[in-house]
Structure 1
């Protein structure tokens, strides 16, 4: 069978049709992916470990079942990869920590088991920052941005962003505690969905901060994000915080802005935001108007306090999550994660209560605002992916760090869903990211808005030019 030259860059819904119509074989597709990983990933470092034997075993099983007329789901036979914080039975799950380099789970995380039952093929585990916090452990090589190796690949789902953008998997599953799905998607020109907190089970996912952690898809299009969410979302008996199942029919989602009310806070959207990103957002606003949507001038609740508090808020919960190994094995931790946990352990109960009250206040104000709206529009970050030198300065500058996360972390605190989308390239050729924020449970509306943008633009089809 002759394989398409752009096979590795097909969107999942396109590949699904080709596999189900028997025009492409799951085994051939998986073999092509493994060959591309072997060729390109030594320079990209997106995979923590590749599982070729397992991938081919699952691909052959999918091929047999499809040949017998059994189609488990539209994902049957499609090769995916997982951030290395999701447990995978008999495959190391290290969460970006050398401390856990030999940790082999007995069972899959719920998201992994749901995709395995849907017939998806697992290519391997994707590299990430240490413990899903800000920086990679000093002993681990950080993934390289395929658009420009001198720039940030995003955190903490860095390997997910690089592998999906470079055509080394058709999609990936990441996690987002302060922006960790949306930052890598913005940096790598992808579409990422941070669902409502609890929409996707966290059972079997390495914990950073339980009340802030969100699990979601990282893909090449909004349609693909909905494609994956419809399989991984829903209540899990093993996760008491998971939300009830929801039916998301992909073909039934209207891909227009017709009738949608989108909130625009001009002051917020210009708060330290580069003019090139502001201009890109203006283009999105024109798409909303032209597509039948209504732009409403609003005032977003002040995000300053929740952004400033985010690290302390996260640090307390991270200290609890790491209690078995920290401080007992503190020497095996990198400096960034040590600093986060130490800060959390030192925070007083009264100070943490003040943080929680600020979080509740912001969440309530946002809920009231979204009662009158369907969506908010925002950038993912105030600028395109910084250079590594620029990024290193953020750790020592609290205000610069707050500005970086001011459009992402507040919605981890509140638990509202967000979809990150490519909104063009800078003059230097780096991807830029915008996002819509929706009501809790409003993932279908978010994906609808994403599909509406991607129906009239080609930003999501731009690929890193230095890769073939």
Structure 2
């Protein structure tokens, strides 16, 4: 197999080939850097390509292989991370202009753990300003490799584009209102938003600290599982991280026997494009064929919490940016400015009511999940939105609330979700859906994702570049 054919392999396959000495980490990294140079001038997925550091890491990885030393699960695999994860000695701008010269002295814990697993860091991936809704006006927006006229997802847009286009084998994103799941669905990928606290947020620029989730994006559930296993676990540097030192995850799965899977047809179809409703019906059939017991459930009312997501996030982002806003307000883009001003203008009593409503929803979802193992939910009601459609969303608070109606509830509640590709629109754009599980039940999500992908081939579809 030539190096020109490798870019769409799965990360676990690449790791196996490297360990077997069938692929050189140095040659593979050089080939990936050449592909980035050739394609990313029109895709804009990378904020920073760390060429020399990546090649140096690849040479070190190759020496370990040749010496017969023990290898990590991602040894020699080229990956990339969203540019709000700190990387020691390299700029981390978080999609802003105010931080373009910020060079952290240490890696984010998740980045360090990727390196410890043997991964090669190709660079930093572009994102919306501060990880909110839109890109800074002075920064080029990543382009969906399936079709440039369609949304690439936000805020982990660069992570979605680079992973889908074969410019890295997997990536890290973050999700505060849907920002792993939106770009995963938009680019035909698998993404995991873990339980809140499952992955350390130390060294990750905050948007809304109690809503932020760090997690992997990949081209398969097996790869997303591999990535999550590498980065998950308690971190003394993040006191909010879950106490378990390591997460035990399955390495394969073939069925869903013994699992109860809930679906709320009424909620799922509320304002949802028909092509998504049809795709979900096919998902249910696959789940049944794998032995899953599908049950109709009633999801709790979420409109209040969805409508209040901006207030919740606004207060937290105002705190996160207190050192630079309003002092550097002129350097902020309009969307992030608006969100910060919402937060700064919220009273303590109003914010407390938001937190009470959020806690009530968390309890109701916990009660629902106590009776089922998994929940099937769309990622968004709009199938593959165009830039024009998103422009309308930005001007209409009601439409924007509809966009996040299936994602934001699980940021507010902290429940884990995996997004999987499940079809294509008539114009050939990817469609995704979510499995949601109880707090701490990532092993179930990974099992379900791998079983679903053993029975389907949507994750093997790639954009033509």
Question: Could you say which TM-score interval applies, normalised by the shorter chain?
Answer: over 0.9
Deviation at 1:17, TM superposition (A): 1.0
Deviation at 1:6, TM superposition (A): 2.7
Report if aligned partners of 2:19, 2:71 keep a CA contact under 8 Å in 1.
no
Match of 1:435 in 2: 434
Deviations 1:54-83 (A, max 9, x none): 000000000001111113312010000010
In structure 1, distance between residues paired with 2:96 and 2:3: 38
Deviation at 1:4, TM superposition (A): 5.0
Deviation at 1:249, TM superposition (A): 4.2
Which runs of structure 2 are paired with 1:117-132 in the superposition (5 Å)?
Answer: 117-132=116-131
Match of 1:258 in 2: 257
In structure 2, distance between residues paired with 1:428 and 1:464: 13
Match of 1:405 in 2: 404
Which sits farther off after the overlay, 114-123 or 174-183?
Answer: 114-123
Residues 1:246 and 2:246 are matched in the alignment: yes
Match of 2:314 in 1: 315
Match of 2:186 in 1: 187
Match of 1:306 in 2: 305
Q: In structure 2, the residue corresponding to 1:99 is in which secondary structure?
A: coil
Match of 1:453 in 2: 452
Deviations 1:319-368 (A, max 9, x none): 00000000111000000000000000001111111111110110000001
Deviation at 1:263, TM superposition (A): 0.5
Match of 1:444 in 2: 443
In structure 2, distance between residues paired with 1:21 and 1:66: 9
In structure 2, distance between residues paired with 1:93 and 1:456: 40
Q: In structure 1, the residue corresponding to 2:253 is in which secondary structure?
A: coil
Which runs of structure 2 are paired with 1:25-174 in the superposition (5 Å)?
Answer: 25-174=24-173
Report if aligned partners of 2:3, 2:31 keep a CA contact under 8 Å in 1.
no
Q: In structure 2, the residue corresponding to 1:102 is in which secondary structure?
A: coil
Deviation at 1:13, TM superposition (A): 1.1
Deviations 1:378-415 (A, max 9, x none): 11001222111110111221110111000000000000
Residues 1:351 and 2:362 are matched in the alignment: no
Deviations 1:211-243 (A, max 9, x none): 000000000011111101111000001000001
Match of 1:361 in 2: 360
Report if aligned partners of 1:222, 1:451 keep a CA contact under 8 Å in 2.
yes
In structure 1, distance between residues paired with 2:4 and 2:337: 46
In structure 2, distance between residues paired with 1:360 and 1:321: 22
Question: What are structure 2's unaligned runs of at least 5 residues?
Answer: none
Deviations 1:231-261 (A, max 9, x none): 100000100000122332443x433111111
Deviations 1:235-291 (A, max 9, x none): 00100000122332443x433111111001010111011111111111110011111
Deviation at 1:116, TM superposition (A): 1.0
Deviations 1:303-330 (A, max 9, x none): 1111111111100000000000001110
Question: What are structure 1's unaligned runs of at least 5 residues?
Answer: none
In structure 1, distance between residues paired with 2:283 and 2:236: 40
Deviation at 1:5, TM superposition (A): 4.4
Q: In structure 1, the residue corresponding to 2:90 is in which secondary structure?
A: coil
Residues 1:419 and 2:418 are matched in the alignment: yes
In structure 2, distance between residues paired with 1:31 and 1:223: 25
Give the TM-score taking structure 2 as reference length. Answer: 0.99
| C-alpha spacing 1:270/1:249, structure 2 compared with 1 (3 Å) | closer
Match of 1:295 in 2: 294
Which runs of structure 2 are paired with 1:15-26 in the superposition (5 Å)?
Answer: 15-26=14-25
Count of residues in correspondence between the two structures: 464
In structure 2, distance between residues paired with 1:83 and 1:248: 25
Q: In structure 1, the residue corresponding to 2:98 is in which secondary structure?
A: helix
Report if aligned partners of 1:235, 1:245 keep a CA contact under 8 Å in 2.
yes
When the two chains are superposed, the root-mean-square deviation of aligned CA atoms in Å is: 0.9
In structure 1, distance between residues paired with 2:348 and 2:109: 33
In structure 1, distance between residues paired with 2:248 and 2:5: 29
Report if aligned partners of 1:127, 1:158 keep a CA contact under 8 Å in 2.
yes
In structure 2, distance between residues paired with 1:34 and 1:73: 22
Q: In structure 1, the residue corresponding to 2:151 is in which secondary structure?
A: coil
Report if aligned partners of 1:383, 1:432 keep a CA contact under 8 Å in 2.
no
Deviations 1:429-449 (A, max 9, x none): 110110100011111100111
Give the TM-score taking structure 1 as reference length. Answer: 0.98
Report if aligned partners of 1:72, 1:117 keep a CA contact under 8 Å in 2.
no
Q: In structure 1, the residue corresponding to 2:308 is in which secondary structure?
A: helix
In structure 2, distance between residues paired with 1:144 and 1:54: 26
In structure 2, distance between residues paired with 1:39 and 1:78: 20
Q: In structure 2, the residue corresponding to 1:245 is in which secondary structure?
A: coil
Q: In structure 2, the residue corresponding to 1:429 is in which secondary structure?
A: coil
Report if aligned partners of 2:261, 2:376 keep a CA contact under 8 Å in 1.
yes
